């Protein structure tokens, strides 16, 4: 086992940058995280979407379900 603490960043460094974004992932590495976790789902046609929530309300300035925003169409 390593002598260093293991640091995981949930959804990137979500307290320092918008969660589940490249900025949050980069910030996690800057502050010493060895790993980060993020949420990914599939949509029609096999495309991927990175989002923890099924609505835009909490993580963004938008509102409503992702399905009504065209993300899962």
Catalytic residue among 16, 52, 69, 71: 52
Token representation of residue 48 = 């991927």
Whether 52 is catalytic is: yes
Burial of 64 (0-12, 13-18, 19+ CB in 10 A): exposed
| Backbone conformation region of residue 55, classed left if phi is above 0, alpha if psi is from -120 to 50, else beta | beta
Q: Is 10 a catalytic residue?
A: yes
**Active site members:** 10, 52
């Amino acid at each position: 086992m390593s002598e260093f603490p293991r640091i995981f960043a949930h959804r990137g460094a979500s307290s320092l940058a918008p969660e589940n974004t490249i900025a949050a992932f980069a910030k996690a590495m800057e502050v010493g995280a060895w790993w980060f976790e993020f949420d990914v789902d599939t949509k029609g046609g096999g495309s991927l979407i990175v989002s923890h929530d099924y609505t835009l309300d909490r993580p963004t300035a938008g509102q409503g379900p992702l399905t009504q925003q065209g993300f899962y169409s």
